[in-house]
Structure formats: structure tokens, C-alpha cells
């Protein structure tokens, strides 16, 4: 029996949207945890649920000798994690949960069946916790001494120990245990659906910025970088081992440290390595030099956090970015044949119609290659959540829902934002049509009708609010 079984509860074939997209990536968080624990003498297995099913996972839990189960949970997998915990506990497993969400809902996860919640960075905490469980499985006096865990005592009272210090030297950590899962299947799935196989890797942990809606549960507001030489070592191994066609750099913000990018680019050039990739950045961390280096490295798409075209709203979010910087970053990317992607957010606290119009104008002017919109949702543990907590309405029991399914009293209805979305897309498409010098009257007429209909819909739903 292994010392630990790790799983994450994301089932691709239960996700209709991902079934259309089919761009899965390996769960690096639990693979980093697996490699760290293996390096420190623990026997660790991974049950990768991505291409599996809950039936298969439950059968495994019910048929294998029970031990310690570690579950990674995030915003979208809460309900799955809670169900897995229930099955595991009934089968005799000791359950530990961690990841981006459990730290904010530690008591709820414990009351739902977890024996321990690990909050913050998990490697050292899990090492100490597993050592204690192995050496003193029934004497639980040591629980209060392990930094970075929460638990319920014998009378059901909640305890959260002090946080654990973060790993200072990321270069001392082993690479993710990719051999613990079938990574070739991820690459092959990409290739089958998109003609190109893809892999993911990280060069740093954490984000030092303070956007009010963004969670920092795992890494805090830190930014710790790996040695660029060691990152290139890992990437070179990935290229040899899995022969991907493209890659995804999973950092929160890839271009924070410009000197690091210079060193990374120089080492890639020295070794003659090149792979197309996409990454996330901020407009204020992009300039002509950085985009030249990204283009040289093979960056084919850069995702730029935009959120809104209203400077008033951006300032209220503590984004620390100007609308003009975003537009310039998109233009500079286009000049180098790098696609730009934008993330946009409707419904942030205080948004008015003029802010929606400003966002539409912003995207129409910037003309990113791709943009995604979402209606803002408060994540527990963030300043945004604290600001509007008194207005939140839980629609379903906690264990069957997520923070994305919470209503905000007094905010516009979902229909209102659906019309805003239609207006944005029609206006942007009309601007693209104008730039292409298309004179097709039927296309112009259709888009103008869509714009008129969307504006009518906005007006008709302007007084509808969430109760």
C-alpha cells in the first residue's frame, strides 16, 4: 500500500465545454507534490481523473486497501471533491484536501469529511503531515504543531495552525512527476483535435500584484523564479520525451522579470531550442524589447489581462494598469505577428452602463484576436469577496455549488450581461468588417440589426436585478 494516493476530481468527459474545446493539460500541482514526496522517501501514487470517470475512481477507492488520500480541489471541482471525500471516508481512507480553494473554506471541507486541510504551498506541509501519520497514526496530539494545516478536534472545534513559510529555493525542487500519469494521452488528445500536441510547464510561482478579485490562497503575493538554465533543462527534456508541437507557460504573469526573460532567451538560443508557445502577461510588463524576445522565442499568442475598458473600474479593482497600456500591448503584439487574447469581466461592483460602453469601445479599438468574457464572481478570501459579502446569496448547498454560482443582491440580471456580451461581439465584428473594407450590405445590415437588438435587450433588462 502506498503512503499516499493523490487525485484531483476533474473529469473531462463530464465537462460539456471542455468536450468542445479539448485542450486538457496535466495537473502540475499534484505532480509537483508527488515528486517532492517521492524524493523524500514516500511511496506516492496518482489517480489522474482527467480521462477517467468517477465510477472508476470510486471503484478504486472501494476495492483497494484504504490508506491516505490527498485531493486537490479548486473553484470548479468543489462538488466532485466533496463527493470523493464521502466515498473515501466510507471506504476507510484518511482524507487530506488542498489546493486553491480549501484554504478559504477549511471548516466547510473538514465538516464535509476531510481529516486535514492543507493551505498554502503543500510540499513541506504534506511531508511533515505524512511523517506524523506514519509514525503516530492514532496519537493526534501532534496536529497542533504542523504549520499549514487546519483540522477539527475531537469535540468538533475548528483549529487552523499558523501558515508555513514558502519554499525559498524552487530550483531545489524536483520537476513534476509527469511519469506518474499518462502525459502522452494529453499530448495526443491535443494533436487529435487541433493538429498540434501541447505540454505545460511553469517558470515561477506566485503573482505580486494585488487585483482585488484574484485569489492568492496557495502562493500569496510572492513571485519566486526558477533559474532560467534549469527551466530550459526541463523544456529540453519535455521536447525529447513527449515531442510536443506547442507549449503553454502556466505562470500567472510570464514577463514580470525582464532580466530573467533575457537570460532564458539567450539559453534557448545557445542550445538551438525553439517551440511555439502561449503565455499570460500584463500590459505594463510588455514593451518593444520583451515582445521582440517573445517573438524570437516562438510566442504565438499572449493573453493580456484587460478586465474592463473603464479606467474607473480598473482603478477600483487595483489592477495597476491603464487602458492605453493594454491597447498598446495588443498593437505591439500584432506588429510582431503574435496573437493577442483578452480576458474581460462584466458586473464588477460599481459598474454602470458607461463602463460597459467604455469596454466595448476599448475592445473595438484594440481588436484583439480573441477575447473571453465572464460575469464577475467573488472568490472567498479576496478583498472583492469581503467588500460585497453582505450581498451574497447562496443558491445551492455549499457542497453542491461553487463561488461562481453565488448571486449578488442588487446586481443586474444574467440576461442583462448576456445582452452586453452580444452587443460587444456585434460591435467588434462590425469594426473588423470596416477594417477589412468589406462592402457586403447584407453583412453590415445583419450586424447593425444585432447591435440594435442587443441595445434594446439591455434597455429592457436594465431594471432587472438579482434578488
Mean predicted confidence (pLDDT) in 381-387: 94
- Residue 51: pLDDT band (50, 70, 90) is very high
Burial of 435 (0-12, 13-18, 19+ CB in 10 A): exposed
Q: Is residue 148 part of a domain?
A: yes
Name which of 402, 400, 398, 390 is nearest 108 in CA terms.
Answer: 398
Residues 227 and 371 in one domain: yes
The Cα 2–Cα 459 span in angstroms is 60
24-39: average pLDDT: 98
Residue 440 lies inside a defined structural domain of this protein? no
- What's the pLDDT band for 341 if we cut at 50, 70, 90? very high
Asked if residue 242 and residue 142 are part of one domain, the reply reads no
- pLDDT value, residue 58: 98
- For the segment 197-206, the average pLDDT, to the nearest whole number, is 97
Residues across the chain: 467
Burial pattern 313-351, b for ≥16 Cβ within 10 A else e, equals: bbebbebebebebbbebbebbeeeebbbbbbbbbbbbeb
Residues 129, 229, single domain; the answer is no
- The answer on 222 and 91 residing in a single domain is no
Angle at 328 between CA 322 and CA 332, to 5 degrees: 150
Q: What's the total number of domains in the chain? A: 2
Q: What is the pLDDT of residues 112-150, one digit of tens each?
A: 999 999 999 999 999 999 999 999 888 788 999 999 999
d(CA 227, CA 98): 27
Average pLDDT over residues 267-272: 98
pLDDT at 190 over 90: yes
Which of 107, 128, 160 terminates a domain? The answer is 160
Residue 344's domain comprises: 176-383
Quick one: 26 and 61 in the same domain? yes
**CA dist., res. 60 & res. 67, Å (int):** 12
Asked whether residue 467 carries a pLDDT value surpassing 90, the answer given is: no
Name the domain boundary from 342, 362, 383.
383
Q: Within 13 Å of residue 314, how many CA atoms lie on the same side as its CB?
A: 21
Residue 96 has a pLDDT of 98
Q: Write out pLDDT tens, residues 89-103.
A: 999 999 999 999 999
Provide the percentage of residues in the chain whose pLDDT is more than 70: 100
**What was the pLDDT predicted at 443?**
84
What was the pLDDT predicted at 11? 97
Same-domain pairing of 156 and 266: no
Q: Which CATH number fits the domain that encloses residue 100?
A: 3.40.50.280
Of 219, 222, 223, 246, residue with least CA distance to 235: 246
pLDDT for res 181: 98
Asked if residue 88 and residue 219 are part of one domain, the reply reads: no
Residue 399 has pLDDT above 90, yes or no: yes
User: Mean pLDDT for the chain?
Assistant: 95
- 261 shares its domain with 332: yes
Residue-wise pLDDT tens digits, 315-326: 999 999 999 999
pLDDT digits (tens, 9 = 90+) for 68-95: 999 999 989 999 999 999 999 999 999 9
Whether the pLDDT of residue 1 is over 80: the answer is: no
pLDDT at 295: 98
Q: For residue 369, give the CATH number of its domain.
A: 3.20.20.70
Amino acid at each position: 500500500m502506498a503512503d499516499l494516493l493523490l487525485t484531483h476530481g476533474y473529469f473531462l468527459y463530464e465537462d460539456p465545454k471542455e468536450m468542445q474545446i479539448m485542450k486538457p493539460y496535466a495537473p502540475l500541482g499534484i505532480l509537483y507534490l508527488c515528486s517532492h514526496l517521492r524524493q523524500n522517501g514516500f511511496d506516492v501514487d496518482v489517480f489522474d481523473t482527467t480521462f477517467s470517470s468517477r465510477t472508476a475512481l470510486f471503484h478504486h477507492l472501494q476495492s483497494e486497501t484504504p490508506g491516505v488520500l490527498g485531493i486537490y480541489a479548486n473553484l470548479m471541482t468543489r462538488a466532485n471533491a466533496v463527493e470523493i471525500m464521502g466515498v473515501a471516508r466510507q471506504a476507510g481512507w484518511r482524507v487530506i484536501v488542498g489546493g486553491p480553494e480549501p484554504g478559504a473554506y477549511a471548516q466547510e471541507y473538514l465538516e464535509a469529511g476531510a481529516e486535514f486541510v492543507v493551505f498554502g504551498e503543500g510540499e513541506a506541509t504534506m511531508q511533515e503531515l505524512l511523517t506524523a501519520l506514519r509514525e503516530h497514526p492514532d496519537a493526534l496530539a501532534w496536529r497542533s504543531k504542523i504549520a499549514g494545516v487546519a483540522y477539527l478536534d475531537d469535540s468538533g472545534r475548528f483549529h487552523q495552525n499558523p501558515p508555513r513559510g514558502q519554499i525559498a529555493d524552487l530550483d531545489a525542487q524536483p520537476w513534476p512527476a509527469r511519469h506518474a500519469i499518462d502525459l502522452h494521452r494529453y499530448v495526443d488528445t491535443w494533436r487529435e483535435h487541433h493538429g498540434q500536441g501541447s505540454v505545460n510547464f511553469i517558470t515561477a510561482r506566485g503573482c505580486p500584484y494585488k487585483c482585488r478579485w484574484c485569489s492568492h490562497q496557495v502562493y500569496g503575493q510572492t513571485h519566486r523564479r526558477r533559474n532560467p538554465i534549469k527551466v530550459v533543462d526541463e523544456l529540453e527534456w519535455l521536447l525529447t520525451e513527449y515531442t510536443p508541437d506547442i507549449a503553454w507557460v502556466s505562470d500567472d504573469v510570464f514577463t514580470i522579470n525582464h532580466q530573467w526573460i533575457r537570460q532564458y532567451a539567450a539559453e534557448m538560443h545557445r542550445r538551438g531550442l525553439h517551440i511555439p508557445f502561449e503565455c499570460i502577461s500584463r500590459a505594463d510588463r510588455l514593451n518593444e524589447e520583451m515582445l521582440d524576445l517573445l517573438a524570437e522565442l516562438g510566442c504565438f499568442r499572449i493573453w493580456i489581462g484587460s478586465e474592463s475598458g473603464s479606467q474607473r473600474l480598473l482603478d477600483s479593482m487595483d489592477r495597476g494598469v491603464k487602458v492605453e497600456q493594454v491597447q498598446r500591448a495588443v498593437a505591439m503584439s500584432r506588429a510582431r505577428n503574435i496573437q493577442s487574447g483578452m480576458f474581460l469581466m462584466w458586473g464588477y461592483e460599481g459598474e454602470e452602463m458607461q463602463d460597459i460602453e467604455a469596454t466595448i469601445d476599448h475592445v473595438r479599438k484594440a481588436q484583439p484576436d480573441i477575447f473571453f468574457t465572464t460575469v464577475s464572481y467573488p472568490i472567498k478570501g479576496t478583498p472583492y469577496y469581503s467588500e460585497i459579502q453582505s450581498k451574497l446569496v447562496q443558491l445551492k448547498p455549499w457542497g453542491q455549488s461553487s463561488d461562481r454560482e453565488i448571486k449578488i443582491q442588487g446586481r443586474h440580471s444574467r440576461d442583462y450581461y448576456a445582452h452586453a456580451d452580444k452587443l460587444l461581439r456585434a460591435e467588434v465584428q462590425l469594426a473588423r468588417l470596416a477594417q477589412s473594407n468589406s462592402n457586403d450590405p447584407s453583412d453590415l445590415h445583419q450586424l447593425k440589426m444585432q447591435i440594435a437588438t442587443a441595445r434594446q435587450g439591455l434597455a429592457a433588462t436594465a431594471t432587472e436585478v438579482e434578488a
